[in-house]
Structure formats: structure tokens, C-alpha cells
Amino acid sequence: MKRLIAGLPFIAAVIFGGFFLWGLNPDRDPNEIPSVLISQPAPAFDLDPVPGLETPGLARSDLVGNERPVVVNVFASWCVPCRAEHAVLTRFVERDGMRLFGINYKDKPEDAVKWLNDLGNPYERIGSDLSGRTGIEWGLSGVPETFIVDSDGTVLFRYVGPVVGPDAVERFTQALKQAGALPNGAGS
């Protein structure tokens, strides 16, 4: 029994070492977090607009019945990677005609208003998720996260993390094209 107890630290070290090595695996992509929402209906939600913005709020009903899929981006003013991807998403809206809706996650309304006034507001609609409850319903692991939602309300694609850098932008562009979320010829 004493030998078993004496060997427990070694066994624990081997287990933790295995997880450490798995985390360092260059073939592992942390953005490949599985989502139970893919090919499922977007969760039911109805968010008020961000106070101080003239952009309307966001509800599940806004995701349904569109002529093509829409993009739902979950962001916050306190999120540094969100700032980095904001220009990329704005470019998709302005250059390619992507339809962008936002969920402002656990953010002070005045901070969100200032952030959007400083960087520009590419969102057609923004719902304020002060409590974070809607984020939980969407299965967020953090912000930013971006979803492509079909016109029937089905989640087609999820991108975890900022859409920044050539590889991320290419991957996201391909997902937009496959979903039909860009007007014909856009994104080329």
C-alpha cells in the first residue's frame, strides 16, 4: 500500500505530462472546438438593442427568412481580439455585401457605444447580452465567436476566435461561399 501511495505523484505527473504534450501537438487546432449547434436551429433569444445606439436589437426571428445566410458575430468592447477582427468583418460587409448581425456580450452599453463610434458600426442589428445568458445558449467558449446562420435559422458554421490573418480570412471566406452568404461573385 505504501508503494502505491509513493507512486501516485509519478502517475499524476505522467497524466499531466500527456495532456501537456497533447496541447503542444502542432496538428491540433484549438479553433476546432466542436459545436452541438452545427446543423441545428439557432437557439431562441430576443435581445434588446444596446442603449445609446440607433441599431435595432436582435432576436432569433431576425435570422429566419432572409434571402441568403447571415453572419452572427459575438463581440465585446473589452475584447482585444474583437478589435483586431472588426476591420476584417467591416471589409466583408462593405466590399462583399455580407450581412452582419451582432451580439454584444457582457459589455457596458456606454463602452459598446464608444467602441462602435470609434471603429464604425457594420452591424445591421445588435442585441445586448448583458447577463451572458444568450452566449450560454449559443455555446460560447469566449469572444469573439462568429456563426453563419442559414435563412431557415440553422447554424451552418462556427468560427472560434478572431477572423484575423490570411489563413483565418481564407477559411472564413470559403465557409461564407459554401453557405451562399455572399452575393454572387463577391469574395473573389
Supply the pLDDT for residue 150.
97
CATH entry 3.20.20.450 includes domain 35-179: no
Whether 123 contacts 102, CB under 8 Å: yes
Domain layout of the chain by residue ranges: 35-179
Distance CA 186, CA 13 (A): 52
| Cell numbers 501511495: residue | 5
Residue 157 φ then ψ, to 5°:
-155, 150
Look at residues 117, 83, 65, 64 and name the one whose alpha carbon lies nearest to residue 73. 83
Q: Cα separations (Å) of 5 from 2, 9, 10, 14, 121?
A: 5, 8, 10, 15, 60
Supply the pLDDT for residue 46.
98
Provide the whole-model pTM. 0.82
Q: Is the pLDDT of residue 87 over 60?
A: yes
Q: Is the pLDDT of residue 7 over 80?
A: no
Distance CA 31, CA 21 (A): 18
